[in-house]
Structure 1
């Protein structure tokens, strides 16, 4: 197994933060190096281009998502896991109100710019969709794929409106609504959120 390079990892983490709070286009490699406390020349040792750093950030986000879903899997039953999923943003509601979803904003910015990074970023949300679908299927829902999409769209919509209004209460209200819906959801009956 390869040992992680601490400077490379610091650059990725700094880029993740700056891309989230400032955007990819407005975050320079020198600013990322400064935030990572790495000499600017070292950036090119680890990443030949900014695009290569963006790809590393996308891969790191994918790992973060999978790690978060693995933590949710520790919960005893699929309904509890779904409830924990929709509640997940509440711990970060101030950041969500200011910057939106780190994955959603990154995907949206990259899609506007086009290119290979935009294509690479399309792997992030399916990680959630497949996990959500498995939870609904475990509840005996024949419409598990539809419910997964409804849930992810509701959560991401709540994040977007929370950011657009800079109002964390929007997120709190939508999470409460989703909690009621998941709690009341019966097995086997087709219903959407």
Structure 2
């Protein structure tokens, strides 16, 4: 999760490849009307985000029901969104925290995407900082993608020492397998 330009898609794909799991890009869930608004540099409001958030929640619930490890990217700008997305359980949120100057640099170089530099300020204004009560892994998103994946792995294994996921079992074959 993170604002535009934080590297969600690049890192999400890399992480999914490393975990040998599915990858879903949250931007694909935006309606044509929402995409048109963003292309016109009009920030989305709560009403615009409502269906998108429900669709993201459906993706998460489907992955859980099918017992499919899945990396899903989305902005999750507000605490309420993060709470809603993590509600089913079995969800680990990862925040790619990137300094504004780096976000600006990345968005200035971005081609063929509707989220341009002009929309960054609205996303930064809407973003509610992650609190200590939230079970969110914070990663320096200005690191190279492979370093981000390595940092995620380090933090995930420290915070969750006995996960019952295929990637965990590959790394820790000595761990007892538990029924989900």
**Fold-level match, TM-score > 0.5?**
no
Normalising by structure 1, report the TM-score: 0.36
Q: Which has the higher strand share?
A: 2
Normalising by structure 2, report the TM-score: 0.38
Decide which structure has the larger Cα Rg and report it.
1
Which protein has greater RCO, CA pairs closer than 8 Å, 6+ apart? 2
